[in-house]
Structures are given as C-alpha cells and as structure tokens.
Amino acid sequence: MGGGEIVNTGDYEDAYRLGGLIAREGWILLNGGRASGIMEASARGAKKNGGLTIGILPGNDPAWASEYIDIPILTGIGLARNYINVLTSKVVVALPGRTGTISEISLALNIGKKVISLNFDLGPLFKNYNEEKQLIYANKPEEVIDLIKKLLKSDFDKEVGKYV
Amino acid sequence: MGGGEIVNTGDYEDAYRLGGLIAREGWILLNGGRASGIMEASARGAKKNGGLTIGILPGNDPAWASEYIDIPILTGIGLARNYINVLTSKVVVALPGRTGTISEISLALNIGKKVISLNFDLGPLFKNYNEEKQLIYANKPEEVIDLIKKLLKSDFDKEVGKYV
Amino acid sequence: MGGGEIVNTGDYEDAYRLGGLIAREGWILLNGGRASGIMEASARGAKKNGGLTIGILPGNDPAWASEYIDIPILTGIGLARNYINVLTSKVVVALPGRTGTISEISLALNIGKKVISLNFDLGPLFKNYNEEKQLIYANKPEEVIDLIKKLLKSDFDKEVGKYV
Amino acid sequence: MGGGEIVNTGDYEDAYRLGGLIAREGWILLNGGRASGIMEASARGAKKNGGLTIGILPGNDPAWASEYIDIPILTGIGLARNYINVLTSKVVVALPGRTGTISEISLALNIGKKVISLNFDLGPLFKNYNEEKQLIYANKPEEVIDLIKKLLKSDFDKEVGKYV
C-alpha cells in the first residue's frame, strides 16, 4: 500500500525494488491497481521480474488500471475497497502515502493483520501497535522480505503446531 | 456464475467442462469462490486443465474458498460482492442457480454486460434482454466458448474501428 | 423497490399511494433515493402524508437524491448498495422495474426476507418462492399494507412466543 | 466517530454532551450504531434531548444496534461501511478512538470533508491537514457546535454566492 502521489523520489525506487523482490519470491503482489505512485512502481517492479500482479480498483473502468496490473478487480465501491485490499493481503506493507494509505494501515491493524512500514513514520498515533509488534518498521525492501518470511514461517509453525 | 447448491446433476458436469474449456483458451476463470456447487465445479475444471482461477468471496475467511481457487479475494462485504463479480468479468456466463445467481445476472445486464446462460431458462422476466441479444442462451459448454470468442472479437473490432 | 424508469403510468400512482399509506401507519419508507420513477413516487407520497423517508443512494453526491428524501445515505458503492436496501428493510415491497429491481428482489429472497410484489409478475423463475409464501403478490397498495401488518404481527408473535 | 471502546472516562461524558447539543440544534446524529463506547454515548445524549439518530452498522443483525439508535442501517459490508459513515456526514466529528476511528478520519479527509477532532490528538501524521484547516481541534463539545455552525454557514454562503 502507498500513495497514488509520490511523497519523495526514494519511495518510488523502494516500491519498484520491493515489487521485484516479491516477484522473485514467487509471491503475488496485490495493491490498489491505479496507474500512479507507489501502486504503479511496485506493480512495475513485480512485472519486470516475472511476477503476478493484482489490482483492487475503486472504480468500474479497466482503463484506470496500471498497465503493470495483470488482474484488475473492478470493485465499483470507491474507497470502501481499501477494506478488501487489507482483508485479502496476508501481510500488508505500507510505503509513504497520505490519507488513503493511512486508512489502509488502520483497517489492517483493526482486523489483526501485521503491517510492515517501509520508511513511513506513523508517529505517536500508532505507537502502541509498534510496541506490540503488530506494526513493524523497516528501512529497506530487502528487510521487508526478511520480515515477511519470518511472519509467514511463524503462521506456518502455529498451523503445524495444532497437529503435533 | 451459478448456484452454490446444484440444481441438477448435468449442471455440475457442464460447469466442470466449461471451466476446462476456459482454461484451455488461456482465459482466467472468475467466480464466487466458494467450495460448493457450480463455483467449485467450474474452478475444478479450470485447474485440471492448467487454468488460473480467481474467487471473489463474500466473507473474510480464506477457509471458505474452494481448494481449486488460486487467488481468493476476501471482500468481507457479503452479497454486495456479487456486483464486483460481474463488474470484473468481461463476459458473464450463468449456469442454473437460485437467487444469488439471478441477482448476478440482473446486475450484469444492468451495467451493460453480455450474459450467456447455459441451460438456465430465465423465462419471460428477461425476455427483452434476450430479444436485444444482451442475454444469449446456450446448450453446451463448447457453444459458450464460441459465443465468448464472437463477443470478444466484436469488442476488439469496435476498439480497432476507432482508429481506422 | 422499483424502477428508476416507470414501466407504466398506473405504477407511478400505486407507488405514490403506497408511500402515503406507509407514512400514515407511522412506518419509515426506505428506497434507493433517486429522483426518478418508483423511488421518487413513493417518497413523494410518504412526504405528502407526513412520513419519514430514507434513500440509500449509489453515489456520493447528495444532488442525486430526490427532494422527497429526508435522509440521503450516500454509500458511494454503486449497485452494491442494493444489498443494503434489502438488509435494512423489514419487509421488501417491489413494484414493476427492470434489472435493478430484480436484483433487489433476488437478494431479499436470498437472505430470507419476505417480498411483496405489487403488480410485478415475476413469472416462473420465482415460482418456488411464491409457493413457499416468501414471495407474495398483491394488486393494490391497501393490500400491501394489510400483508405487512400480518407479517409484522407474525414476527412479533414469534418473538413473544419465546418468552411465553 | 469514536472508539467502540472508551479510551478515558471524560470522553464518554464529552460524547454524551455533544450528542445532546447536536439534538438541540435540530441536527441528525449519524454514527457507527453499535451499543458501545463513543457511539452509544453520543446516541444516548441525542435521544435524551429529543434528537434523531442513525447508525450505519457493519453487520446484518439489528440486535447489534444501540438502543439509542432510531434508524439502524444494516450494511452487511463490515468495516467497508466506514466509507459510508463519512460520505453521508456533512461534518465529521472525531472523539478518541483507535484504528476504526483513525480510518474514518483518514477517509473523511481523503474525500475532502472537514474533520473536527474533540480531544483526540492525531499528532504529526495529520499535521498538514491541521495547518490547511481541514482538520480542526476542539476541547469542548460546545466549541464543536460553534465550529460546525461556522462550517455550515460557510458552505451556505458559497452556495448562495453562486446565485448573487
């Protein structure tokens, strides 16, 4: 998740690299699908590295989807689609954005998802979630990948633990 | 689209075969994603033939998705997700179902989508749409594939026509 | 519920009279809120008789609401709002319409609501629901009111029955 | 808007008083409708002062609505309903809450609504919105009412300005 508008230039590069790393892991990249900002950068990175990309679009017009989105899901429900974005994601990664991104982070935390924030300082408002390790800060795309692996392994261990 | 409950046994076979044919065309199969009825049958047919399957689920629990769904989209918006199913589909194919399926057919026609009905007689209520060829009846999965090809070609020709 | 476009002139009069009768019972009228067809007629009838009217609008612009709607709920979720219309209604009354109305009838029956159809013949497609008395046909607005009273009394008796 | 869980005891009293003041102005109170926290407190205050209250509920069960809600809108779309809350409100008032409330504030600011925050410090994350006066801080319920009056008057003046 991240801004439709780019907050600073390093963020575009981070999103692009993160998309590429996600693709190389064989994971599916899901984002808001639009042809701008962090969304376009991450999808572009994933496609250049052979990944599969899904975009959950607010509107009903496929022309709004980024060309780097393989599967545009046209919701037609406006910003209410932010809820679908975070429900469907196994792990939510947030890059700098504005209120759209903050609403996604909030909804993700609300429903119990882990959120990794890549160079997006959410400040004192989300301090508790950071202390409880539901919100985790990272500085580099590679660090995000390592964190996701740990989170997925932890989920897998819990699942396996039920049967051992 | 089609019933979570199977109305008669031939329908399961039709859905399974249709799913397989869709996969062999290289098209993506999208349905309601649940592990029952027409949804499961079509996804199973697609997967056995190397296809990619997307399920737009009403709830927020991935355990509700059919095992034959590659990409479960967890909407959490209940039956409001029927609107997303038809918005996202290029062509809607309906197999026999009950009110869930009828709501999807209605919404699809409402937003201008073509609907192919495979052995699901919608009767006088939808007669106008059939006369205007927005609703088309078919008897066999192979016939559905031919109709979809014609519809996609017609869309493509219209698109190309803009530039010629 | 009923068409944004009027199918025949008697329907407008029926909707207007039904709105008035609902208001005189002290019930709240809820519809799709737009300034056209059955929606506008029923809201207008309710307002002329001192009723309270709620409109569940598909868009985000209050200018789309009928002037006879007291409380416009701006959903911004397009036709997905049809699900909210029927979930929120205690009893669904359908007047003649096209696919929007049929989708609402389908969703209402799907979630177990009673549907009273006022001069809107749904034909063989909904025959089972009519036989099981979940779908009830009426010819006059006054008959609809009597049916609603019976349905509400029946619900009330069931509720009271739990404690007796 | 505000937490389902109360963050501190003064907030319950603030919400109750604010609900009462809103009712005395003849305004309609709209909130998330649940029988807890800030939602219940504000609705209770409004009802004790003769107001009309609307609750936009996430689920499909009317039993979840607060007893102080006159009109429960059952959306069945989970937290996606937060978007409807802010779209439908003329002015959004936020009391202390957690991620649900923060998502509503974010969505409200995103779609251009004014947000008045009553003793809920949103910190540096929303600093820009505060500087641009889209987000306004208040300390007392009475102050919120004065701010709403100014905002509504300003909207009214703009509207009238078109015709003068």
What residues of chain D lie within 8 A of the CB of A82, using their CB?
83, 103, 107
**Contact call for residues A32 and A61 (beta carbons, < 8 A):** no
| Residue C13 pLDDT level (bands cut at 50, 70, 90) | very high
Q: Which residues contact D91 (CB under 8 A, 6 or more apart)?
A: D113, D114, D115, D116, D148, D151, D152
Tell me the mean pLDDT in the region A33-58: 97
All partners of chain D with 3 or more CB pairs under 8 angstroms: A, B, C
In the sheet that B52-57 helps form, which strands lie side by side, from edge to edge? B28-31, B52-57, B71-74
Option in B100, B110, B126 nearest C110 (CB): B100
Option in A84, A110, A125 nearest D125 (CB): A125
**Residue D155: predicted pLDDT:** 81
Under an 8 A CB cutoff, do B77 and A71 touch? no
Option in A76, A77, A84 nearest B73 (CB): A84
Q: How many angstroms separate the CA atoms of D104 and D119, rounded? A: 16
**Residue D46: predicted pLDDT:** 98
What residues of chain C lie within 8 A of the CB of D61, using their CB?
none
pLDDT per residue over D91-146, tens digit each? 999 999 999 999 999 999 999 999 999 999 999 999 999 999 999 999 999 999 99
What residues of chain D lie within 8 A of the CB of C88, using their CB?
72-75
ipTM of the complex in this document:
0.94
Average model confidence (pLDDT) for chain C? 95
- Check whether B102 has a pLDDT greater than 90: yes
Q: What is the three-class DSSP state of B103? A: helix
pLDDT per residue over B36-92, tens digit each? 999 999 999 999 999 999 999 999 999 999 999 999 999 999 999 999 999 999 999
- Check whether C161 has a pLDDT greater than 70: no
Give the closest residue to B22 by CA, choosing from B43, B39, B5, B1.
B43
Under an 8 A CB cutoff, do B98 and C77 touch? no
pLDDT per residue over C102-116, tens digit each? 999 999 999 999 999
Give the closest residue to A72 by CA, choosing from A124, A30, A111.
A30
**Contact call for residues D28 and D112 (beta carbons, < 8 A):** no
**Residue D157: predicted pLDDT:** 77
Q: How many angstroms separate the CA atoms of A38 and A13, rounded? A: 9
What residues of chain B lie within 8 A of the CB of D78, using their CB?
60, 76-77
- Check whether D164 has a pLDDT greater than 60: no
**Residue D159: predicted pLDDT:** 67
Taking residue A162's Cβ as centre, other Cβ atoms within 10 Å add up to 6
Tell me the mean pLDDT in the region B133-143: 98
Minimal Cα–Cα distance from D56 to chain B, Å?
14
**Long-range CB contacts (< 8 A, 24+ apart) of D112-116?**
D113/D86, D113/D89, D114/D151, D115/D91, D116/D91, D116/D92, D116/D144, D116/D147, D116/D148
Q: How many angstroms separate the CA atoms of A102 and A96, rounded? A: 9
Average model confidence (pLDDT) for chain B? 95
Q: How many angstroms separate the CA atoms of B102 and B92, rounded? A: 12
CA distances to A74, B122, C2, C129, C130 from C124, in Å: 33, 8, 20, 10, 9
**Residue B161: predicted pLDDT:** 67
- In this prediction the pTM is 0.95
What residues of chain B lie within 8 A of the CB of A74, using their CB?
84, 87-88
**Residue A3: predicted pLDDT:** 85
Under an 8 A CB cutoff, do C76 and A77 touch? yes
Under an 8 A CB cutoff, do C78 and A76 touch? yes
Q: How many angstroms separate the CA atoms of B87 and C8, rounded? A: 30
Side-chain-side CA neighbours of residue C98 (13 Å): 15
Q: How many angstroms separate the CA atoms of C42 and B49, rounded? A: 52
pLDDT per residue over C56-85, tens digit each? 999 999 999 999 999 999 999 999 999 999
| Residue A91 pLDDT level (bands cut at 50, 70, 90) | very high
Q: How far is CA B74 from the centre of its chain?
A: 18
What residues of chain C lie within 8 A of the CB of A78, using their CB?
60, 76-77
pLDDT per residue over A108-137, tens digit each? 999 999 999 999 999 999 999 999 999 999
- Check whether B164 has a pLDDT greater than 60: no
Closest residue of D to C75, CA-based? D84
Q: What percent of chain A has pLDDT over 70?
A: 96
Say how many CB pairs under 8 Å bridge B and C. Answer: 70
- HEC readout, chain D: CCCCCCCCHHHHHHHHHHHHHHHHCCCEEEECCECCHHHHHHHHHHHHCCCEEEEEECCCCHHHECCCCCEEEECCCHHHHHHHHHHHCCCEEECCCCHHHHHHHHHHHHCCCCEEEECCCCCHHHHHHHHCCCEEEECCHHHHHHHHHHHHHHHHHHHHHCCC
- Check whether C164 has a pLDDT greater than 70: no
Q: How many angstroms separate the CA atoms of B47 and B44, rounded? A: 5
Tokens of B135: 């609703």
Q: How many angstroms separate the CA atoms of B138 and B119, rounded? A: 6
Rounded to a whole number of angstroms, the distance between the first and last alpha carbons of chain B is 36
Option in C80, C98, C102 nearest B83 (CB): C80
Under an 8 A CB cutoff, do A106 and D124 touch? no
pLDDT per residue over D14-46, tens digit each? 999 999 999 999 999 999 999 999 999 999 999
Minimal Cα–Cα distance from C74 to chain D, Å?
5
Q: Which among B60, B74, B77, B103 is the top mutation candidate for probing chain D, defined by the most D β-carbons within 10 Å of its own β-carbon? A: B77
Q: How many angstroms separate the CA atoms of D11 and D17, rounded? A: 10
**Residue A154: predicted pLDDT:** 87
Q: How many angstroms separate the CA atoms of C158 and B63, rounded? A: 35
Taking residue B64's Cβ as centre, other Cβ atoms within 10 Å add up to 17
Q: Which class for B134: exposed (0-12), middle (13-18), buried (19 or more C-beta within 10 A)?
A: middle
Under an 8 A CB cutoff, do A76 and C77 touch? yes
**Contact call for residues B117 and B94 (beta carbons, < 8 A):** yes
**Contact call for residues D99 and A109 (beta carbons, < 8 A):** yes
